Structure 1
Amino acid sequence: MNRHFRKFLFGGLALLLAAGALAATASPATAATRSVTPPQPPAWQTTRTFARLGRPDDTLLLGIRNSDQIEFGLRRDRIANEAGLRLQYTPSPALLPTLSHLRIYLNDALMSVLPIEKEHLGRPVHQQVALDPRLLADFNRVRIEFIGHYTDICEDPAHSALWLSVSRDSSVVVREQALVLHNDLAYFPAPFFDARETARLVVPIVFAAAPGLGEQRAAAILASYFGSEAGWRGASFPVLFDRLPEAEAGKAPQSAIVFASNDRRPAFLADTEKYPPVDAPVVELIDHPHDPYAKILLVLGRDADDLASAATALVLGGELFRGARVTVNRVQRLEPRKPYDAPNWMRTDRPVRFGELIDYPGQLQVSGLQPRPVVVDVNLPPDLFVWRNQGVPLRTVYRYTAPNLSDESRLNVSINDQFISSLPLQSSEQGRVRLEELRLNVLSGDAGAFSDKLLVPALKLGDHNRIRFDFNFASVLASAQRDRCQTMLPVDMRAIIDEESSIDLSGYHHYIGMPDLGVFVRSGFPFSRMADLSETLAVVPAGAGATQVGVLLDVVAGIAARTGYPALGLRLSDDWRTAAATDADLLLLGRLPDELRDDPDLELLLERSRDWSLRPGATHTVAAESRVDISAGAPIAAIVGMQSPSHAQRSVVALLASEAGDYELLRAALADPQRLNAVAGSVSLIRSSGVVSQAAGERYFVGSLPWWLLTWFHLSAYPVLLAVLATISVALAAFLLWRVLRWAARQRLAGDA
């Protein structure tokens, strides 16, 4: 037995030694395998203020209008780990503490109840509410309900003491985490743009080196598409040469777009085995080489023309794309665009239904005793000539819950915050009416549906207009007698502006005085006259650098955001003389050409020691009675508008800068709505302190009018001359009438003789 035991023991030791040797041999590989762990997904915190989410002003909650909801989205390539609400509000000092409170909902699920304490009354309050991230979806609503009480006996829900003001600085805070997505172009424009995102769109554009005109045009086409999709969010396109954007800790992954031809490729595409040369326009979506949570969109081609074809195909036929790689066989535009047909502009060749102007279902319907206003946005071409017009027909069809009593309930109509008209909201007929007849009466529209035609004063219209309908219902809710209190619940009042309501701007001419930089920054005019910029020629510097190309992409994307259509017809040139002879509106970027430096219309161009716009040492006029020479080293840029030197009906808009700092200043101004509001006239100087604008030079007019209307319009600026001409015309008419009467008298006398 002992011998067998020793034999078994020695055999076990041998096996352990062999296993140890095998483990020692395999330990490096095993350790290496265990050391390869997937990287931690990037996570970051996103703060969305109420102002950014569509509440530019503080929201006032009342007793009869006691709720408001904030809507926000979550991108499909994100997941929420944490969510919260940072609420800032001021309650009325007349509220009863504790009995008054707030209810916070997320997607109709109650998240928290916030009592209003005594120390809160009449003072700003800051509260943080945790939101359940598991309830977050693509589209989310945070609803705030105010339950206010000012007395415990005979309370009037419409009392003026019942109010709570929610600050626009309140915010929704979400900690987001990136998700790994498949390389599938079927989801384009994701992950570069997601309509649920409210922040400014930033898409880096990568070239191998300084791009030529063809490469810049291809990038401009794709940038304008993103600009039209981003709309009010704004878009910016940082340009990089021969390098990809790097991931930053605590920030979202940064996807990029790369333009590369067979002979001009960034370094990371140099491996021809992995990325072989192409024989047709190709669009491919790949993973970022250094960030698995970011994507790279490759726009490939044999030359610059292929790059433009690939970009155009992606813009026009992106809904047909699928898979990670798509080869473009042919791109053909079947029908050219027409003037003033921008998707974001209202049609001016026929009456337009309100159903064509709304942004979302239910926009025209409101509810409550004191409902929110119904607002319809109307964007028009800025050169619409409405001078001395009798009015714009506005046909309004509306329905509402008819009040039981005859009172002062009315529908007020205003445009651009200017009152237009007030329509009475008639009460229903009183008497013994059966329920069926009453329902039929409401459904037939006899008591609750009305149609009115209004004439909107034409001079109140601009390029951006807001038509506002305010339903104001008058009602008695409660009695003020404490010993005999009678309280009634408010009726669930509902009202709607019918989608068949219409506004008619047909029959108007197009005529506008230029230069006017205000219409350029607001509507992209005159370039936006053709939505695809087919009558626009961009003049760019030869060998443009990254900042210069970035400014061009930002400007083109900004115009597309205002028209709603990509710049498929944009042309580029780096030769001013050839461009000046072209029958097109010119968008000039960089320095002022030599041919324009001595133009007398440019009365306001600031001189610097470096030649950024004029000749070195030149003196220029800053006012009609003074001349100033200065030297400065801080950045400065300018926007100048003028008439084309070769075509009377064409315009030139010049974005003037010389150095990288100037271009960055110009770029920042174009992205700042407050600075853009200050751009006007014919010259706007941009400095770090702000924008200064001035009208310089003589005005010119683009468009056409009938000869009689054109004569009357221009003579209206000279009332004395008009009076003299009227007097001469009356005298001449009287003289001719006198001559005719004398001739008739002689003829009659001769006949009598």
Structure 2
Amino acid sequence: MSRWVGVEVYNLIKIKFLVLAALASILFSFPVYAETLNLPLYKVAPGIKAVDLHCNASEYQMQIAIPKRWQIKKAVLRFDYTNSSSLLKQNSQLTVSLNNTPLAQLKLDPLAPNGFAEVELPVTLLPPGYNTLNFSATQHYTQGCEQPCASELWTRLKLDEASLSFEYEWDTVPLRLSELSELIFDPKIMNEAHLHLITENIKDEGTLTPASIVASGAALRFDYRKTVFTLSNQVTEGMDNILVGEKGFVEGFLKDLGVSMTVEGPTLKLVHLPIKSEKGELTLDSRHVLLVVTGRNADEIKLAAETMSILTIPFPDTDEMKVNEFALPEIDLYEGKQMVTAGEKYPFKKMNFKNRTFAGLDPAPEDITFRLPPDFLIKQNQQATLSLDFSFGAGMKSDSAINILLNGVFVATARLDNPNGGLISNYLLSLPTFLFKGGTNVLSFRPKMTPLFAEHCHFLQTGNLQASLFDTSFLEFPPMPHRIELPRLDLLFLNGFPYTRWPDGFDTLLILSEANSASANAALNLIGMMTQKNGYPLFGIRVSTDIQEKWDKEIILVGRADTIPSEYYAKAPLQLGDINKVPYPVYQNWDIHKGMSWSQQASGMNSEKGIIMQFASPFEEGHAVTLFTATTDEGVERLGNALLDPTVQAVVKGDLVFVEYVINKFNQVKFGNGADFKITALNAGTSFVTGKGGNISAVSYYLSSYPWLYWLLISAMILTIAVITYFILRHRRKQRLSPNESE
């Protein structure tokens, strides 16, 4: 009996050993895709900054995005903080929580007010999607009764200097086209997204234009995430690739990589990324994909590219799609992401605002973000209407209010001054339109609520400090025409203006001055940036390598400085050539308009520097040319990457911008990457007027643009009336004094 038991045990151990050996051989036969990423927190959560926590209880929340394609192995948050030296250590602490789970409790020590925290974020609390990281402070300066919002109750979180590090592995990508919108082009991918486009011939407009549409559609899906594009005729390992081309090239390219495909019309197909080694061995990288966008001719490729750009829902679930037909919706001028149209009412619900209840002494504010066309002709006497529907609790002091800020500036208030509480509808506020700006605007609601009875050392009732703002509130702008003076490079980085008047880029020609991958990469990055800013795929933009084409609409020109025709430099603020014509500021006004001296010189430019210029088109009045150039192809490509940096986008203005590449030693030491930029912006050229849409006369334009003309006209009218009145009175006086003569 025991003998048979021993045999069974032996066989069981032997089987387990064989199974483990088999598993080990399988595991070690695949490459390991583990990676480590150490990022500044402001790159994980764009817009993050230092945060001050006030009062005896305060908190701050931020979102950490985790992509579906990552298997997180470890995550660590590191940040510095400074607290008031008046706090009581035993009663004051900072708590860090992830998805409502406390992870760390840090004592706020008045004798050591500068602190550092290293908090490990459990991977079980970091599912794919958006995760809430919460910092809450409990602060006291006495063990007796205290003012709940005394000025000495504060802690500063230095989140703008914080970092978040990840250890992770890439997961296998399922071969379903439905995964394009949520898995492959995932805006939660950190720190930046990389996509490589494969084409047969950069010189072919029939391929370049569909490639630009593909880049635009992919960038739109990545939303605000920095998206870097490269282009060549070969596969690039370690990232997703997109193959764009006609039937013959695509079928031959895939066959060489061991993939069989027959193109019978506009087609999209998804395969795991095939990799061919130097020895000719073929393998499949299941962590990355090759997306094929193809057709039998240029029109079919464009149709497939447009279809790929609008796959924004989880459908279809096949790995291949044959496109039969494609229809775009009707679009109007100046449409786009979060865009507000003049003359229309916009309920808060339409602006992604949900009913919000504020509670406590110092509740967190609520923001509404929207955009205005950058070329609105805003008159000084126009008013935007803000109508609020809200309610508030009883027992509040009459100084309680909802303060309203526009772009960080206080503009209005809604009083909560009834001690019995109230429900208010259609609370009308008029906001001067000149307080708004073209591009992104932020309307903030910041309640301040005080109990009616708040005597020192008495029980403080805060449960009734409640105020709700309803999504039936609305914002309305008066009708406004579109007319503006260009050049203004800041508008290009707001929403791609003037190239996105039509949200799909219609009437825009993007020219590569030389057909090479450096210029193509820069152009694709520019198209991706403009798409993300405007929120609409650039279906209508043309990409060409014909530098001699005389285009009578809007032009974007990308290429090395010595390949730009002299006719473009004729109206440029900086003219490059054998003899350079360079503007130098002599003095500076209150803005970037400066007194310029002009130097003609035989000189050169550093290859590490790029230039952006905007000026009037040499082919048609009222249209713009924007030039992106450098002295080398590598400089042009680096300039294309610099356009994606938020710090560069935030400071570009005027009509002439120098982009220099420098090293930030602080970031290099802390994050291992010190690449940074120095921006010099000037207004050196001549301006021109452009505009579309809206009814406006020349008189109305000049009177609103130059108010002194209005006063001059009024003075002239008064003077004319006075002179006419004088002569009439003089004539009548003569009639009274000499009645016989007048007869």
TM-score by length of 1: 0.81
Q: In structure 1, what is the equivalent of residue 414 of structure 2?
A: 423
Following TM superposition, by how much is the alpha carbon of 1:530 offset from its aligned partner in structure 2, in angstroms?
A: 0.5
Asked whether the 8 Å contact 2:194–2:240 carries over to 1, the reply is no
Paired residue secondary structure (1:509)? coil
**In the alignment, is the contact (CA less than 8 A) between 1:185 and 1:285 conserved in 2?**
yes
Q: Deviations over 1:420-441 (max 9, x none)?
A: 2233211333xxxxxxxxxxxx
Q: Report the counterpart of residue 665 of structure 2 in structure 1.
A: none
Aligned position for 2:521: 550
Equivalent AA in structure 1 for residue 427 of structure 2 = D
| Shift in alpha-carbon separation, 1:663–1:650, aligned structure 2, 3 A | same
- Give me the whole-angstrom Cα distance separating, in 1, the residues matched to 2:531 and 2:254: 31
- In 1, the alpha carbon distance for the partners of 2:533 and 2:727 equals 56
Aligned partners of 2:654 and 2:216: how far apart in 1? 26
Specify which of 514, 523, 533 is matched with residue 486 of structure 2.
514
Q: How many residues align?
A: 677
Change (3 A) 1:268 1:448: same
Q: Which residue of 1 aligns with 2:247?
A: 262
Distance across 1 between alignment mates of 2:386 and 2:302: 44
Per residue, is there more strand in 1 or in 2? 2
1:331 is matched with 326
Structure 2: how far apart are the matches of 1:715 and 1:60? 43
The residue that corresponds to 1:647 in the other structure is 620
SS at match of 1:569: coil
Q: Over alpha carbons, which structure has the higher Rg?
A: 1
Paired position in structure 2 for 1:585: 554
The answer to whether structure 1 residue 457 and structure 2 residue 448 are counterparts is no
Q: Of 302, 307, 312, which residue of structure 1 is paired with 2:301?
A: 307
Structure 2: gaps of 5 or more residues: 1-17, 276-284, 585-595, 663-677
- CA distance in structure 2 between the aligned counterparts of 1:693 and 1:738, rounded to whole angstroms: 60
Quote how far apart the aligned CAs of 1:122 are.
4.5
Offset at 1:632?
A: 4.2
Matched, 1:281 2:266: yes
> CA offset at residue 577 of structure 1?
4.5
Cα displacement (A) at 1:598: 5.8
CA–CA separation in structure 2 for the residues paired with 1:103 and 1:687: 42
CA separation of 1:196 and 1:617: change in aligned 2, threshold 3 A: closer
Shift of 1:517: 1.6
Shift of 1:292: 2.4
> 2:258 & 2:397 partners in 1: Cα distance?
83
Superposed displacement of residue 91, structure 1: 2.6
Q: Would you say 1:236 and 2:228 are equivalent positions?
A: yes
**Counterparts of 1:286 and 1:424, CA distance in 2:** 60
Residue 321 of structure 1 corresponds to which residue in structure 2?
316
**Which stretch shifts more, 226-235 or 293-302?**
226-235
- Residue 340 of structure 2 aligns with an amino acid whose one-letter code is M
In structure 1, how many angstroms separate the alpha carbons of the residues matched to 2:22 and 2:222? 48
Distance 1:270 1:58, change over 3 A: same
Mapped partners of 2:459, 2:719: distance in 1? 75
CA distance in 1, matches of 2:702, 2:26: 84
Which residue in 2 is equivalent to 1:694? 682
Determine the structure 1 residue equivalent to 2:451.
475
Specify whether residues 86 and 629 from structure 1 end up closer, same or farther in structure 2 by C-alpha distance, changes over 3 A only: same
Query: For residue 51 of structure 1, what is the aligned residue in structure 2?
Result: 42
Q: Structure 1's 405 and 641: CA in aligned 2 closer, same or farther, altered over 3 A?
A: closer
Q: CA deviation at 1:111?
A: 2.9
User: Which residue pairs with 1:208 in the alignment?
Assistant: 200
Give the superposition deviation at 1:236. 1.7
> Which of 1 and 2 has higher RCO (CA within 8 Å, sep 6+)?
1
The offset of 1:665, in angstroms, is 3.5
Encode CA deviations 1:418-473: one digit per residue, 9 max, x unaligned: 322233211333xxxxxxxxxxxx6xxxx143542222122221122222222111
Matched residues in 2 for 1:414 and 1:424: separation?
Answer: 14
The reply on whether 1:533 has 2:505 as its aligned counterpart is: yes
Q: Could you tell me which amino acid in structure 2 is paired with residue 136 of structure 1? A: L
1:218 to 210, 213, 216: 210
Change (3 A) 1:736 1:596: farther
The question of 1:68 aligning with 2:46 is answered no
Q: Distance in 2 between matches of 1:414 and 1:34?
A: 63
- SS of 1:164's equivalent in the other structure is strand
Relative to structure 1, the CA distance from residue 99 to residue 652 in structure 2 (aligned partners, 3 Å threshold; closer, same or farther) is same
Counterpart for residue 158 of structure 2:
167
- The 2-side partners of 1:744 and 1:538 are apart by 75
Structural RMSD (CA): 3.4
Secondary structure at 1:309 match in 2: helix
Secondary structure at 2:526 match in 1: helix
Distance in 2 between residues matched to 1:687 and 1:344, nearest whole Å: 33
Q: Is the 8 A contact 1:228 1:563 kept in 2?
A: no
Q: Distance in 2 between matches of 1:351 and 1:211?
A: 47
Shift of 1:516: 1.5
d(CA) in 2 for partners of 1:678 and 1:325?
44
1:168-207 aligned at under 5 Å gives the runs 168=159, 169-197=161-189, 199-207=191-199
**Is the CA contact 2:451–2:461 (under 8 Å) kept in the aligned structure 1?**
no
SS at match of 2:35: strand
CA distance in 1, matches of 2:604, 2:534: 40
Question: How far apart, CA to CA, are the structure 2 residues paired with 1:387 and 1:172?
Answer: 46
Match of residue 602, structure 1, among 550, 566, 572: 572
Deviation, 1:371, is 1.3
Structure 1 residues 240, 377: CA separation in 2 closer, same or farther (over 3 Å shift)?
same
Distance 1:175 1:367, change over 3 A: farther
Q: 1:499 aligns with which of 461, 471, 495?
A: 471
Task: Tell me the amino acid that sits aligned with residue 380 of structure 2.
Answer: R
Measured after TM superposition, the shift of residue 313 of structure 1 is 1.0
Structure 1 contact 61–163 (Cα < 8 Å) conserved: yes
SS at match of 2:450: coil
CA–CA distance in structure 2, aligned partners of residues 256 and 365 of structure 1: 46
Listed one character per residue, the Cα deviations across residues 89-118 of structure 1 (whole Å, up to 9, x for unaligned) are: 2232222224433333322223343344x5
Q: 2:102 maps to which residue? A: 110
Q: What secondary structure does 1:534 align onto?
A: coil
Taking structure 2 as the reference length, what is the TM-score of the superposition? 0.82
The gaps in structure 1 that reach 5 residues or longer are 1-26, 248-253, 430-441, 606-612
Say which SS state the counterpart of residue 611 (structure 2) adopts. Answer: strand
